[in-house]
Structure 1
Amino acid sequence: MEGKFKKYTKNPRKVNERILIKILKKNSNTVIGDIYDFRNINTVEDFKEKFPITDYSYYENYIERMARGEKNILTSDEVEYFSHTSGTTGKQKLIPTTTTSRRIPSKYMAFLINRYAFNEFKKQWNYEKGLMLADITNTNYTEGGIPICSATSGGINAIEPILPYLYTSPIEVMKVKDKEVASYLHLLFALKERSLLFINGVFISNVVDLFRVLEKYSLQLVRDIKRGVISRSLNLNEDVRKKLNKYLSPDAYRADDLTLEFKKGFKGIAKRVWPNLTYIGTVTGANFSIYDEMLNYYTDNLPVYSPIYAASEGTIGINPYVKKVEYVIIPDTVFYEFIEQKDFNCQNPRTLCIDELSQGGVYEIILTNYSGLYRYRLGDVVKVVDYFNSTPSIEFLYRKNQALNMVSEKTTEEHLTNAILKMVDNLKIKLIDYTTYPDNSISPGRYIIYLEISDEYKENSILEAEFDKELSLANLAYGRARQSKKLRRPKIILLKRNTFNKIKELLINGEVSKNQIKIPRVVVGKEKIITVLKENIIK
């Protein structure tokens, strides 16, 4: 697999064009293929000329038909399941997934990621199991009987037979919907594994939450390990409890070891309870960087490997570097086009191919995939930071729709995260999480920053001044808007503890996978989240 990847990255344009033609010919007998005459599209130029740039709204009616069970609408393949997005930029989208669209990237995720991790950590590698924060919960089914689940759930389902050989958690744990209960059970079985090799989670925020559950329930976990049964106080289906108890047996020796370590506190706890723990595998970087220091507290700066850059719509990049967050675009998973930053707001922008990007350039990704999306604006903005052979290596910057733009200042997730991190560092505050809202109820308008911190803090005015200063430095356009009084000073609203946990539960109840949760950084149009925020303001 590694040899094929290196070969593909030497001539990415040729590989990528071949993928496009293969997709179009495969789907030429579909409804969409007939409309746009896929049979007679033979070049990238033909495709760009005949097919418009699209977004999700273009596909909604087609996807509704597919959900009812109609065939050959957007793709000739059977829909294996619909993956639903996390909904951070609006209402949830249903993205069709086919066997082909799942299998092609899975070879990278199953083999190449492990190869890069092994190459980096082979001196410490012990071939033992890891803790995988994943779920295989199908939330529901479409009218036509097709499962709806997260993309990660679908991927775990596909490798179900080999799960016991890779991970500490029995499959029943991955079917528990309650996030805190599932985290508790993941920990229970992982703590019994003294030689745990790694911890994997979709997003770094989920791994931080796992350690918070460890801190909260450490005494109860020790009791369960000592007795070899799951606590009756845990809110768990009785049949599931019986199945899971069969995997357990009393282990007083391990319980005593854990008790000694927990009494020392939770700073650096990871390596103390799992001496062979080698790395954390999870998506980090960009707006997730606010969680880095929180995780470092528990892991004592254990390496974090951000292995893959993927969305429900397609797997885009793989990270061969382990110790930095940078992704090489994968030439054979989807067909790519890129919009230059200067053309982001154009109605019909010119697009570039994979070999036409410039180092240092900032681009929005457009993709055509195997499951029925064509010239689809993903909304992700990336920067080319290097090359791997002849293929661009990129850094994810932000989601285009997760921005504040009240007077053309275009404050992105990246700007907000940088300013928040600087503020909490300057004021020595421990951040839990944050989100924002553009307030136009007054003139000039202002940003509202909802902030949950672990300390008591009375001086909101100091927070506001510091955030305002750092955001002006992070986004010069915002700074100019403040100087010219087009925006007034931001308002920071402090939240009660566990507010963001309540938001996560709200998202889970709204059918987001518990392992795919991302806190939206801008909550425009998210009335249920806004209600939770308002109910948890510290007066």
Structure 2
Amino acid sequence: MSRVGCDLEELTSNAKHIQDDVLTKILKADANTEYLQQFLQGSSDKELFKKNVPVVSYEDVKPYIDRVANGEPSDIISGNPITAFFLSSGTSSGNLKIFPSNNIYYENIQTICTIASVTMSKYFDGFKQGKEMRFTFFHPISTTPCGLPLGPVMTSFTKSEHYRSLAKNSTSPDKIILCPDTKQSMYCQLLCGLVQRDEVVSVGAMFASVLVQVIHFLESYWKELANNIRCGHVSEWVTDLSCRDSLSILLGGPNPELADLVENECGQKSWQGIVSRLWPKAKCIDTIVTGTMAQYIPALEFYCSSELPLVSKLYACSEALFGLNLEPLNKPQHVSYTFLPNMSYFEFIDVDVDGLTTEGEIVDLVNVKLGHYYEPLVTNFSGLHRCRVGDVLQVTGFYNMTPQFRFVRRKNTVLSVYAESTTEEDLLKALASATVVLESSDLMLTGFTCYADISTVPGHYVFYMELRAKVNNNSNNDLPLDNKVLVECCCAMEESLNGAYRLSRSKDEHIGALEIRVVQQGTFDSLMEFYVSRGSSITQYKTPMCIISAEPLKVLEDNVLARFFSDKSPPI
């Protein structure tokens, strides 16, 4: 067994001891910080920590984080020097957040990615011998008032020395990934991948939404990409010199045979299985498809062929890295993440299936119970202590002595117009029902979000959907929108929603008929561009499940093609 494999067995077999050590290290470093001093008076006793230190949300600790970002000493919150700040995507909560960080986070990324690579090699023969075509994009790094770097996790990590050892098998050179122009970078990363198509063993991006956008980009630019391959040089509009220099080496001269192949595959009437056809040696699609990303599963299965496994490798966020998927061949709905006890100190609040806090005590990692639902708390090496992450997880099993969790949903993502509470999981069930109906009409869902419209009385749910035809799948808006099919979608979605919704819906004065608004193709790309223009990173972008702000709603409303309503109340 490899050394990393031994480490995994050691980590998961000694979870309690390792978690105790992690908390001891954090408390010895942080006990005299201004934040913990008020609760511990300088003590590093673990039981005192659990008794006195409160459970907090980001908003509770934001004033302390802001003080460090504005130039006050790191030891306000952390005994380890803060060396950077991570910028969250802002698409889950609607607001950008900044989190203090240091090199320990980067070291944890290296550890978890190395173990994940060993796991992938176990399930996919020849995985380490090939190259990964993983689409990553650079987000400009700014500085806080105190002069420390501020940027998304993956951009910050990509620019660090820790990234080099993990990038050896990438199809795209660092200079292309770090190109500040997203369009040029995406174009060049696709060109790199096409030129090296016979070496590609996995295709991916951090989130499924990004990978679907890349495929849409390929739909628009495949002819130009093929022409670049045919003539042996990149288009003149690609002006980034580092990109041009890197590609001049990779292209190596004209390649008419490969250009013909790209044109033949991309020129077919249907793009079903296009990823498998262009990259025939790919063994999997490496992207997160759990949680809100589940809405992209049908599109990816169409573009990538159902034979290619969709692998969600990691569970992580700006606050901490949590764990990894040790069974990558599992279907997305069965994915569980094994927590690694050396990443941070983890505690869990017992919640009910709807994500509401119960009266149960806060429990440690090794004391969670099979089948129970929990909200995780993070105490990390860079100044967060018992901080809520805002996710709801379910314990599905154990690997050695370490629990495995299924991601259920974001805790605070709900839709409501009356007294009902519709969760993210409810919305995904409704979306799955709509997808089944759409299958009969050869339409494919490629973008989805929703909001509670209370401008009317009664209020009602509005679902924005971007659809594409499976045949003649060009980017046009002449879709065969069958009124009967879309109304049936509305009814199927309502029938899938929870009992509280259906009961309120049966009384028309409480909730009005569910509405689907079909938007023009490219609308969800525009929505992403809106969030990126407000500071989000493309690499970390997640299409928000629910929209609550006026500006992104306007992006959607400006592109509505047609509206459809449920024509009957769902059964109670």
Which of the five TM-score ranges fits, normalised by the shorter chain?
over 0.9
Partner of 1:119: 122
Which residues in structure 2 correspond to 1:413-492 (within 5 Å)?
Answer: 413-428=424-439, 429-455=443-469, 456=479, 458=481, 463-464=486-487, 466-485=489-508, 486-492=510-516
Give 2:278's match in structure 1, choosing from 273, 279, 294. 273
Which residues in structure 2 correspond to 1:363-374 (within 5 Å)?
Answer: 363-374=374-385
**Alignment check: 8 A CA contact 1:436 1:447 kept:** yes
Partner of 1:253: 257
Distance 1:467 1:332, change over 3 A: farther
1:334 is the counterpart of 2:348: no
User: Any stretches of 5+ residues in structure 1 without a counterpart?
Assistant: none
Give 1:99's match in structure 2, choosing from 98, 103, 120. 103
Rounded to whole Å, the distance in 1 between the matches of 2:444 and 2:60 is 43
Q: Which moved more, 1:361-370 or 1:479-488?
A: 479-488
**Alignment check: 8 A CA contact 1:53 1:348 kept:** no
- How big is the shift at 1:528? 2.0
Distance 1:339 1:406, change over 3 A: farther
**Alignment check: 8 A CA contact 1:139 1:511 kept:** no
Distance 1:535 1:277, change over 3 A: same
Which residues in structure 2 correspond to 1:78-97 (within 5 Å)?
Answer: 78-88=81-91, 89-97=93-101
Partner of 2:570: none
- How big is the shift at 1:164? 6.0
Deviations 1:422-476 (CA, angstroms, capped at 9, x unpaired): 1132133311211111122233321111222125355668635533443443422
1:298 is the counterpart of 2:322: no
- How big is the shift at 1:242? 4.9
1:230 is the counterpart of 2:230: no
Deviations 1:72-106 (CA, angstroms, capped at 9, x unpaired): 12112222321111112121000111112331342
Distance 1:426 1:243, change over 3 A: closer
Rounded to whole Å, the distance in 2 between the matches of 1:99 and 1:331 is 18
Local SS of the residue matching 2:348: strand
Give 1:496's match in structure 2, choosing from 520, 539, 563. 520
Distance 1:282 1:344, change over 3 A: closer
Partner of 1:515: 539
- How big is the shift at 1:490? 1.6
Give 1:527's match in structure 2, choosing from 550, 553, 563. 550
Which residues in structure 2 correspond to 1:51-200 (within 5 Å)?
Answer: 51-71=53-73, 72-88=75-91, 89-109=93-113, 111-122=114-125, 124-125=126-127, 127-158=129-160, 159-162=162-165, 165-193=168-196, 194-200=198-204
Local SS of the residue matching 1:90: coil
- How big is the shift at 1:20? 1.5
Local SS of the residue matching 2:42: helix
Distance 1:38 1:202, change over 3 A: farther
Give 1:20's match in structure 2, choosing from 19, 23, 27. 23
Deviations 1:314-334 (CA, angstroms, capped at 9, x unpaired): 011211101122101211211
**Alignment check: 8 A CA contact 2:139 2:538 kept:** no
Aligned-pair identity in percent equals 26
- How big is the shift at 1:54? 0.5
Rounded to whole Å, the distance in 2 between the matches of 1:21 and 1:164 is 33
Partner of 1:379: 390
**Alignment check: 8 A CA contact 2:234 2:244 kept:** yes
Which residues in structure 2 correspond to 1:234-245 (within 5 Å)?
Answer: 234=238, 236-237=239-240, 240-242=243-245, 244-245=247-248
Rounded to whole Å, the distance in 1 between the matches of 2:454 and 2:367 is 41
- How big is the shift at 1:232? 1.9
TM-score by length of 2: 0.87
Distance 1:387 1:347, change over 3 A: closer
**Alignment check: 8 A CA contact 2:15 2:402 kept:** yes
Distance 1:163 1:231, change over 3 A: farther
- How big is the shift at 1:482? 1.7
Rounded to whole Å, the distance in 2 between the matches of 1:311 and 1:160 is 17
Rounded to whole Å, the distance in 2 between the matches of 1:143 and 1:460 is 55
Query: Amino acid of the residue matched to residue 309 of structure 2?
Result: P
Query: Amino acid of the residue matched to residue 421 of structure 2?
Result: K
Q: In angstroms, what is the RMSD of aligned CA positions?
A: 2.4
- How big is the shift at 1:350? 3.4
- How big is the shift at 1:355? 2.4
Distance 1:105 1:164, change over 3 A: closer
Rounded to whole Å, the distance in 2 between the matches of 1:383 and 1:210 is 32
Rounded to whole Å, the distance in 2 between the matches of 1:447 and 1:176 is 40
Give 1:360's match in structure 2, choosing from 368, 371, 375. 371
- How big is the shift at 1:68? 2.1
Local SS of the residue matching 2:119: helix
Distance 1:458 1:307, change over 3 A: closer
1:397 is the counterpart of 2:412: no
Distance 1:225 1:458, change over 3 A: closer
- How big is the shift at 1:160? 4.5
Give 1:212's match in structure 2, choosing from 212, 216, 238. 216
Deviations 1:30-85 (CA, angstroms, capped at 9, x unpaired): 22132222632422x42222111111111222111211232212112222321111
Distance 1:345 1:386, change over 3 A: closer
Distance 1:113 1:230, change over 3 A: same
Which residues in structure 2 correspond to 1:34-53 (within 5 Å)?
Answer: 34-37=37-40, 39-43=42-46, 45-53=47-55
Distance 1:445 1:203, change over 3 A: same
Q: Which moved more, 1:266-275 or 1:513-522?
A: 266-275
Give 1:286's match in structure 2, choosing from 291, 294, 300. 291
Distance 1:148 1:5, change over 3 A: same
Partner of 1:388: 399
TM-score by length of 1: 0.93
Distance 1:405 1:118, change over 3 A: same
Local SS of the residue matching 1:538: strand
Distance 1:16 1:231, change over 3 A: same
User: Any stretches of 5+ residues in structure 2 without a counterpart?
Assistant: 470-478, 563-572
Local SS of the residue matching 1:165: coil
- How big is the shift at 1:286? 2.7
Local SS of the residue matching 1:201: strand
**Alignment check: 8 A CA contact 2:33 2:77 kept:** yes
- How big is the shift at 1:147? 1.3
Local SS of the residue matching 1:316: strand
Deviations 1:345-371 (CA, angstroms, capped at 9, x unpaired): 559973222223222211111111111
1:309 is the counterpart of 2:315: yes
Distance 1:240 1:191, change over 3 A: closer
- How big is the shift at 1:114? 0.6
**Alignment check: 8 A CA contact 1:419 1:467 kept:** no
Query: Amino acid of the residue matched to residue 357 of structure 1?
Result: V
Q: Which moved more, 1:178-187 or 1:282-291?
A: 178-187
Partner of 2:530: 506
